[in-house]
Homo-oligomer: A and B are copies of this chain.
Amino acid sequence: MTGDVTARAASIRDVARRAEVSHQTVSRVLNNHPSIRPETKQRVLDAIEELGYRPNRAARMLVTSRSRTIGILSSSRTQYGPAASIQAIEVAARASGYSVVTSNLLTTDEGAILAEVDHLVDQAVEGIVVIAPQVRVLDVLSSLALRVPYVTLQMTDRVITHALSFDQIAGARMATQHLIDLGHRRIYHLAGPQDWIEAEARMKGFLQAMSDNDVPTTAPILGDWTADFGYRAGVELLRYRDFTAIFSSNDQMALGLMHAVRDAGLDCPRDVSIVGFDDIPEARHFSPPLTTVRQDFPELGRRAVALLLAQLDGSEDYRETIVPELIVRGTTAAPAF
């Protein structure tokens, strides 16, 4: 019927033979070259259809040395933010005719980073989106003199050529200002890991808001993004109770904090107000629903791809920023007394 199952797949020359044209004409049809008679084109298309021909990526890649693939270098992909970004990037890339390969950064030592970048380079990616937001990842990357362009999803003060992000500083400032506006003066900040750019930016926003309002502040507590850590930190902090509010730099840690508050026999928001960051889908169902800062991850992913593809076409550098939004729910209230 359709021929020997074990036979090789049809090639461009098989199609050519069937359509009674040269292989080059077939190639022209595939790349829709202008100078093709409509009639010839149709004959070729028919032949393609009949043979079930599929262009061979490897061959095309070999001769053009273009892979039409972009790489994602990411860590913590089980977390909501990165996962949502990755999904959005893949969809957007596909829509532009690009494929996506991902690399998981499980640790951030230089060897691991190099290995993952190598892997992406081996795949001949034409560009890289970096979602692994640790500072050292970016440092290593910029020291690498990569011959492929890359964009990061994180923003920072450091000079990064192609950055793109939510304005995390603004988001953190909004969250903090919200607490201050409610009347809180003793506010702790539960930050992310020290070397994370997001953590740095959110901390910066927190400190800005505090000093803008002349509220004295203490050193932020450095966490690891997990609910477990938030819980332990909360238990520790509540031994002194020298605060009325906490700004947590993500929702998971906020959840852990809420757990600790409960365990201490206290009530959130009556005794302690808590603000998170991210607005994961579950945040509105926490007990009580969490006040937090929403980030539009899908939009971020889309823009990342647009930015990267613009670079591939040799456009100029630029940074772009998306402003996040404060979602007020049930974990914040005026301080008790």
Contact = CB atoms under 8 A, between A and B. Distances in A.
A135 to B, nearest CB: 22
A215 interface: no
Nearest to A67: B58
A265 interface: no
Contact of A80 (B78, B230, B231): B78
A291 to B, nearest CB: 15
Copy number in this complex? 2
A86 B77 contact: yes
Contact of A99 (B106, B119, B255, B282): B119
Contact of A83 (B83, B119, B259, B262): B83
A329 to B, nearest CB: 11
Given A119-B94, A262-B287, A57 B124 contact: yes
Interface string A83-111: 11011001100100001111010100000
Given A57-B124, A262-B287, A87 B104 contact: yes
A91 B119 CA distance: 12
A230 B80 CA distance: 19
15 contacts: A56-B62, A57-B58, A58-B65, A59-B62, A61-B61, A78-B87, A83-B83, A87-B104, A90-B102, A94-B104, A99-B119, A227-B284, A255-B282, A255-B286, A262-B288
Given A57-B124, A228-B281, 7 more contacts: A59-B62, A62-B62, A77-B86, A83-B83, A99-B119, A99-B123, A231-B285
Interface of A: 8, 54-59, 61-62, 65, 67, 77-78, 80, 83-84, 86-87, 90-91, 94, 99-102, 104, 106, 119, 121-124, 226-228, 230-231, 252, 255-256, 258-259, 262, 281-282, 284-289
